Amino acid sequence: MKSSELPHELEKLGKIYYTIFEWLSKKEEYHSRKEYINFTRAYNEHFVVKGEEVNPRSEKELTRSMLQSPDDVDATYRKKNGEQSKGFSINITETANPDNPIQLITGIVVMPNNVDDSQILNERIDIIKEKTPQLNEMHIDGDFGSEENDKKFEELGINHITTAVRGREREIEI
């Protein structure tokens, strides 16, 4: 499908959703079912209804926590560094000791991709330290840094080294 056809196709889809929603909303036996709840969520999050007119929400109204797929309610949307992604984020922790001939994966966590990397690490630092009690240094990407994480690292006696700075590039040369 060409991108120029998308608005028209979304309008058609909105009309189909409207018809189905109107029919289902009168059938109370469906209201507690997961399928109905997901369908209703997708309909309300992606379309605006005024009377009998149904229009897709504008791009500005779409948020990263909106339902991306009725059959996968945990999948999310994220725009990071100008790139769009849907689904999940995976974070992997591994040992990286140059004195050890073998390195080990010590943690894997899968989260909706709209959860900030620093929050994921904040929730995992204690678990990581528990699994690797000798941990005294951790290298992290800039996206994982935060004041809260700095405090946790200090409390746990872990020296953290950030490999990049978080945030936008400067717009002017200093």
pLDDT digits (tens, 9 = 90+) for 2-13: 777 777 888 899
Are residues 84 and 155 both part of a single domain?
Answer: yes
Question: What pLDDT, on the 0 to 100 scale, is given for residue 119?
Answer: 93
94 and 37 in a single domain? The answer is: no
* C-alpha closest to that of 86 among 66, 68, 111, 62: 68
* Range in 16-20, 69-73, 106-110, 154-158 the model is least confident about: 69-73
How far does Cα 2 stand from its chain's mean position? 27
Question: Which pLDDT does position 147 carry in this prediction?
Answer: 92
Domain of residue 118: give its range. 80-162
Residues 52 and 91 in one domain: no
Among 16, 38, 63, the domain boundary falls at: 63
Q: Which of 44-48, 76-80, 112-116, 170-174 has the lowest mean pLDDT?
A: 170-174
- Residue 43 within a domain: yes
Q: Is the pTM of this model over 0.75?
A: no
SS3 53: strand
Tens-place pLDDT, residues 66-84: 887 777 787 777 776 777 7
pLDDT at 17: 92
Instruction: Report yes or no on 74 lying in a domain.
Output: no
| Number of independent structural domains in the chain | 2
CA distance 25 to 44: 13
Question: Is 168 within a domain?
Answer: no
In a domain, 54, yes or no: yes
One-character DSSP codes across 129-159:
HHH-TT--EEEE-GGG--HHHHHHHHHHT-E
30: helix, strand or coil: helix
Q: 88 and 56: one domain?
A: no
